[in-house]
Amino acid sequence: MSQTQSSSAPATAVPTRTFDARAFAAASASSPLAAATIRRRAPLARDVKLEVLYCGICHSDLHQARDEWKSVMPTVYPCVPGHEIVGRVVEVGRDVKKFEVGDLAAVGCLVDSCRNCGACHEGTEQFCQGPATFTYNAPDKHLGGVTYGGYSESVVVDEDFALTVSDELDLAGTAPLVCAGITTYSPLRHWNVGKGQKVGIVGLGGLGHMGVKFAKAFGARVVVLTTSAKKSQDAVRLGADEVIVSTNADAMTKAAGSFDFILDTVSASHDLNAYLSLLKRDGTLTIVGAPDAPQPVSVFNLLFGRRRLAGSIIGGIRETQEMLDFCAEHGITADVEVIPIQKVNEAYARLLKGDVKYRFVIDMASLKAPR
């Protein structure tokens, strides 16, 4: 998730040291991503500089590059997307204590926050009232303009917003964890999903497949709710105990009132009422997908059963680190297709068709290949 937001904080002076970095950027809403050179700040006292090894492709990258959220998050060009970053530390500021040169690190959707509001003090920087500074297309308080993301050979970030990464995990599969992973982990943790519960995952895509893995690791009975019967075998491979094809009216009726929690990962418009009716009394349906249009909800589906309809975005830095540590302990990574940066536009086209299992990840070494 990335956005452009106004900030009341005055811009600081441009540091005396900057450097050029190779990247891939969109020059306009209608242009393909192409090779570009961007300016990065040299590490300040508390900064770490990462050589980007892998960067995942999130569906929001496509939305932002094409300015499809212009009414709420207008894109500033050139736009360098990417907030699923795994890299190696190549330089540290003089006051950095958390990292040393050579360490593996990750950067997710946030690169700063106000540090002063209630959300920041609680460790939920994703809700910062400052507002938070997102990894790309947000006001850059150091250099002016906007922040640039991970489709780049390097990134510089305050150590407080860099995450430690286990060298025991596949690094390409780790990159999507700091967006797709935390987006599904956070609500499952918040609503205390665990043993003895029946949990539904709506949609089996980049988010949904991570939801299945986490819910299963938490000990829940996991049911994938999908419109495609073709996904049944893969759902079971990922850890699902059962698959319900949501277009099968008899199957949906039979499952009514049986779920403790449902995580809805679908970004397209769909019938929320069909899933609300599956919840037990006091059950919760949490949405992490973001349909463009408002979705109608029958209030009676909430009143009868004291059910809850909720939403969730990513997690804060502390929870994201907790998630990465949990993944290292349980051997969880995303299922990915690794591509060179030169195929990013092809990947965007395939993403629109749902033609990926389940996340594209860019091998950033390809950026150094001859153009």
Task: Let me know: does 78 contact 183? Beta carbons within 8 Å.
Answer: no
pLDDT interval class at 4 (50, 70, 90):
very low
Work out the end-to-end distance of the chain between its first and last CA atoms, rounded to an integer number of angstroms: 30
For the chain, helix (H) and strand (E) counts, in that order, are 11, 17
Answer yes or no: is pLDDT of 128 > 90.
yes
Query: What's 18-179+315-368's CATH class?
Result: alpha beta
The greatest distance separating any two alpha carbons of the chain, rounded to the nearest whole angstrom, comes to: 67
Calculate the average pLDDT of the chain.
94
Domain 181-311 carries which CATH code? 3.40.50.720
Reply yes or no: is the peptide bond before residue 78 cis, omega within 30 of 0: yes
* Pick from 143, 200, 131: nearest CA to 21: 143
Q: CATH 3.90.180.10 in the chain, residues?
A: 18-179+315-368
pLDDT interval class at 70 (50, 70, 90):
confident
Answer yes or no: is pLDDT of 5 > 90.
no
CA distances from 262 to 23, 34, 112, 277 (A): 39, 40, 31, 11
Rg for the chain (alpha carbons), in Å?
A: 20
pLDDT digits over 151-203, tens only?
999 999 999 999 999 999 999 999 999 999 999 999 999 999 999 999 999 99
Helix (H, G, I), strand (E, B) or coil at 288: coil
Choose the weakest-confidence range: 5-9, 83-87, 220-224, 287-291.
Answer: 5-9
CA distances from 180 to 20, 57, 97, 206, 358 (A): 29, 10, 28, 7, 10
Q: What is the mean pLDDT of residues 139-153?
A: 96
Rounded Cα distance, 148 and 36, in Å = 12
Helix (H, G, I), strand (E, B) or coil at 54: strand
Rounded Cα distance, 213 and 22, in Å = 35
Q: CATH 3.40.50.720 in the chain, residues?
A: 181-311
pLDDT digits over 42-65, tens only?
999 999 999 999 999 999 999 999
